[in-house]
Chains A and B, each alone.
Chain A
Amino acid sequence: MVEELLFFMEVLVGGLLAGTMYSLVALGFVLIFKASATFNFSQGAMVFFSVLAFCGFMQDFNIPFVLAFILAALLMVVVGLCTERFVLRPLMNASEDTVLMATIGLGYVLEGLAQAAWGVEVRRLDLGIGDFPVPWIADNLKLFISALDITAGVVAAIMIIGLFLLFKYTKIGLGLRAVADDAGAASSIGIPLKHIMLLVWSAAGVVALVAGCMWGARAGVQFALVDLALKALPVLIIGGFSSIPGAIIGGLIIGAVEKVLEVYIGPFFGGAIEGWAPYVLAIFFLLYRPEGLFGEKIIRRV
């Protein structure tokens, strides 16, 4: 009995921590949605692009770790700058769906550019944190939990707290919220729309880079990251598109449910149900609570 309970706990904790990895991707999504009411479909491509560039700097040019990270972050700022100038500004008054489709295009551009510049083979990313159980926890609590998972959890927690404080207590955060609420009104009272957009896209780029590092260290830096990042979408639906804590809770729920279902129900169906279980869970949420757990209620003007 105790053994079973321990096993369940292990599955659950493993799922929760894996969920924080989804949360990290979802976070970039929320950031952009919160500030500009734009669904950025290219967030997954940004994750792939940024971490591939990071790996490229380190492995092809032998740039040290910290410098490469800073360079990759700067690159993401440039990407944000270009996106603002060439995609978002011309589409300022376009409908939501149009902008969404443009960001799908942007995702394609980023994926293509990354592969043209750095090649298509899978790269290994070594963060110096192993993807193996921490001995201390394994000895004392009898749970096998990967060090990488714990790092991802801690990094996610730090970023959430940081972003939460930014949005809640700084002038920039106030500006961001104002722009999200009504871009026209915000710019008429003197909030520089251009700077806000640039800032928020750069921030999303850096978040993507961090998420990419975590994913890359686990699964290798490869194209499949883009598909993994698609799982951030059900996370967002469950947590709500405009809520930073929602992204975290949503990620935890998806991670836990996915792992528990896979381990306990999966064998009856031949396994690999994690591929679609999050999406079906999201459908149920959509039917009963379309705005997600923490999202603002969706109000459409007639």
Chain B
Amino acid sequence: MKPVFMTYTKKDIINLAICMVLSVLIIPTFIKTEYWYTSILIPWLCLALATIGQQIVMGYTGQLALGAAGFMAAGAFAMFNLILRVPDLGFVGSLIMSGLIAAAFGILFGLPSLKVRGIYLMVATLASQFFIIWMIDKFGWFKNYDSSGIITAQDIVILGKPFTTPLAMYFVCLAVTTVLTLLAMNMARGSTGRNWMAVRDMDIAAESMGVSLLRTKVQAFAISAFYCGVAGALFAFCYLKSLEPVAFDIKLSFKILFMCILGGLGTINGAFIGAAFILLFPVLLNAIGNNVFHGAIDATIISSIEQVIFGGLMIIFMIYEPLGMAKLWENIKQKWKTKFPSINLKNLKSSLSKKS
């Protein structure tokens, strides 16, 4: 199969240009409050990246995994140690290396996927989650023998320039996320992604067509863990600005799973939609609690309600639209197109040429 690599349609380039203009020019000029960067945009980009990792293994390859936060922790602590012990590597080098270290864990804990699937695999990946967190917690070396439990992350320095303001960190996250998202889209469209999807849709048929299950599955786990590792490093260095194993507990894994499923399995833009929804919805709910009910509702009750709504949405999506919000968005676009066909560029062109 010829790899489809770095081939984009006109639509892709337009979409990319719109996204870039929006994120590089419009957002920094109009949003000045730090809150937006530190609490919404930066975590959104980091978690979206981790969700892409989850998408690769779950949405594209169809393997139920529940250990994203464990790989994120591996990436974050690898980053901390690399910057501490190998300062020559630089920020970008450390970021790539920490992704690779997470990928090594991904390969190790992805091996059971060759034998089992479904909930069996979920249990195997839970092992990675608990094991990685325990390992970091128990061996002082990973934490540089810090006794307080919470380590402050080092400042980000790229080519001698410090990136410490929220805006600068936002740009770091944006750059990494953009590059990795483009790569993920390429992989998903190329032969790699086709192999993943073949395995997802029917592994036995894929195998009989010559797709190596071993290679495909291990590859998916490794790449997924790489994305999660890089996302974890960014999450710790740009958002939390500290490292503690507790931040990467099973709850975060579930959160990423929810982002992945609600956003839409097997789509890259679903990762961004899902991450935005799961991050913004609690903010919205808190705002309603504070402004409409003026704090009459307890914060714990609000977070419980949020949990009920997430769970309920999960059930509703599973019943009515298993492909999540990305599919809903697709449907809306489709409806719009059939309602107003004249807005379609092609029609416009052909009608213009007819006139002349």
Contact = CB atoms under 8 A, between A and B. Distances in A.
Contacts of B126: 230, 233, 279
A22 to B, nearest CB: 13
B64 interface: yes
Interface string A218-249: 00000000010010011001000000000000
Contact of B124 (A86, A101, A112, A283): A283
A112 B305 contact: yes
Given A115-B304, A279-B131, A91 B318 contact: yes
A71 to B, nearest CB: 21
A101 B62 CA distance: 13
Nearest to B313: A105
A163 interface: no
Interface string B297-323: 000110111111111111100110010
Interface residues of A, number: 49
A270 B305 CA distance: 39
Contacts of A279: 123-124, 126-127, 130-131
Interface string A261-283: 00000000111110110011011
Interface stretch (B2-10, B42-50, B110-118, B190-198): B110-118
B139 interface: yes
A302 interface: yes
B333 to A, nearest CB: 25
Contacts of B308: 108-109, 112-113, 116
B134 interface: yes
Interface string A287-302: 1001000000000101
Contact of B118 (A91, A97, A110): A97
A119 interface: yes
Task: Name the prevailing secondary structure of the A interface residues.
Answer: helix
Given A100-B64, A279-B127, A112 B306 contact: yes
A106 B319 CA distance: 12
Nearest to A276: B130
Contact of A108 (B62, B122, B139, B307): B307
Interface string A78-106: 00000000110011001011111110111
Contact of A111 (B131, B307, B309): B307
Nearest to A86: B315
Contacts of B120: 237, 286, 290
Interface in B109-163: 112, 115-116, 118-120, 122-124, 126-127, 130-131, 134, 137-139
A106 B311 contact: yes
B124 A282 contact: yes
Contacts of A290: 115-116, 120
A116 B299 CA distance: 10
Nearest to A233: B123
A15 interface: no
A287 B261 CA distance: 28
Contacts of A165: none
Contact of B115 (A87, A112, A270, A287): A287
Interface of A: 39, 41, 86-87, 90-91, 94, 96-102, 104-113, 115-116, 119-120, 227, 230, 233-234, 237, 269-273, 275-276, 279-280, 282-283, 286-287, 290, 300, 302
By Cβ-Cβ distance, the 8 closest A-B pairs, closest first, are A108-B311, A105-B314, A112-B307, A279-B127, A112-B308, A109-B311, A276-B130, A116-B304
Given A101-B314, A276-B131, A280-B131, 13 more contacts: A39-B119, A90-B319, A96-B118, A105-B313, A105-B315, A108-B311, A111-B311, A116-B305, A237-B123, A269-B138, A272-B137, A276-B134, A286-B120
Interface of B: 62, 64, 112, 115-116, 118-120, 122-124, 126-127, 130-131, 134, 137-139, 204, 250, 254, 257, 261, 300-301, 303-315, 318-319, 322
